A and B are shown apart, each in its own frame.
Chain A
Amino acid sequence: MNCRAMHDRVQAYADDELGVEGAIEVEAHLAGCSACRGAFESQRAFRQMVGALYPQQAPPDLERGISARLRSPARRWPLLASGIAAAALVAGLAGLLTRGSEAALPSEVRAALEVHRAAEHGGAPLGLASHDAGEINRWLHREVPFFADLPSAETSGFALHGAGTVKLAGTRVAYVLYDGTSGPVSLFVLPRHAWPAMGRQLRSGTVEFRWIEAGGHRVLAWTHDPVSYLLVSDAALAPSQTCAVCHTGTGGAADPRTNILLTGENPS
């Protein structure tokens, strides 16, 4: 299929509107077409940037524009039958889109938060229950092509609980669940292109970090070509502790910027 015929599908894919079959077809095209890959990446980056930066309250003019539509007696509102759509719309109209609220977060991050909440209630989507890093690595290598090995977490204060695969905004990613003293910690391993634009960011060497706090959770994202990571934990967990999931001993906390990175505050 030529590029012109793919345009609508590339846009729909960037907007997370395609099912699995459509996504596979578009990915196959993108793998061999740098022009469409560039278009896809620019569309996704732009959408994520708008979602991440848009301020906490919907502008009054925009609210008025949409409210006027809602008040129009000629229009039927089947939308209201859809709980999710109604909730999102009401949130927008009421100006409840706070900077940290989930409605404004990239869809990958919202989906990760949902998975993490399920894990907090014992409903993590695990395909393998195991405490063994080697076993989990072997299992995930079979399930997701881009997976990079996890280190053992034995001395970190976290215990491996299991692994699975989940879909975040249409992308199948690896999921690893840890048990910690402050509740579960969820680690998602994503292909590089699924890297979500969100919150504050900081570059440390070759690694770029981004993070937000929402609903009592902290979401930390970082990328290390060709893979990205999302780590979801309780926001009350000490920032340096979350790094210990992958960095035992001194770990991530060895970088004095870690606390500044994760709390936005310079301790000095």
Chain B
Amino acid sequence: MSGWRREHRHGGVERTQHLELLLPGDACPDLEELLIEQRWSEEVREALVGLPETYRVPVFLKDVAGLAYREIAEVAGCPLGTVMSRLARGRALLRSALVRQARERGIVGARPGERAVR
């Protein structure tokens, strides 16, 4: 069994909430495709920079730099389970920020799952 499972068993980690792991996919399921279509590079960067450092560092190291959980744990100085829960929470926050911004700019519709008419 891998290290991160052992850590979860032994406790002492931030438990991830059920809904945080399930990214808000029901709110704008096409978000990823739309943002790639719109080339939202700067917006993604700004939203990531806007995250609290606790979440910003693991999300950057995993999703941009491509480090492994173990390596992120070493950088952040926290257990693997904490890396996982912070990643899940950080991604959920990042996605929510992007959904909000996409709605404000009319790239997606106001209701969940609704594409804006362009």
Contact = CB atoms under 8 A, between A and B. Distances in A.
Given A15-B69, A65-B53, A50 B63 contact: yes
Nearest to A63: B60
B65 A92 contact: yes
A129 to B, nearest CB: 33
Interface residues of B, number: 50
B84 interface: yes
For A9, A54, A91, A99, the residue with the greatest tally of chain B CB atoms inside 10 Å of its CB is A54
Nearest to B23: A42
B2 A4 contact: no
A79 interface: yes
A59 B45 contact: yes
Interface string B1-28: 0101100100000001010011101000
A54 B42 CA distance: 7
A45 interface: yes
B2 A19 contact: yes
A238 interface: no
A138 B36 CA distance: 37
A206 interface: no
A240 interface: no
Closest 7 CB pairs of A and B: A42-B25, A49-B32, A85-B71, A50-B63, A55-B41, A79-B74, A92-B65
B84 A104 contact: no
A24 interface: no
Contacts, number: 151
Contact of A51 (B37, B66, B69, B88): B66
A54 B45 contact: yes
Interface string A87-117: 0110110000101000110010010000000
Interface string B58-80: 01111111111101001111000
Contact of A97 (B31, B40, B65): B65
Contact of A107 (B5, B66, B69, B77): B66
A18 B36 contact: no
Contact of A10 (B21, B67, B71): B21
Size band of the interface chain A makes with B: 35 or more
A69 B54 CA distance: 12
Contact of A43 (B2, B4, B23, B67): B23
Contact of B65 (A17, A19, A42, A103): A103
A79 B64 contact: no
B2 A46 contact: no
Contact of A54 (B41, B53, B91): B41
Given A8-B81, A11-B16, A54-B44, 15 more contacts: A7-B18, A8-B4, A11-B21, A43-B21, A43-B23, A50-B48, A50-B64, A52-B36, A62-B48, A65-B53, A69-B77, A89-B65, A92-B60, A104-B64, A201-B37
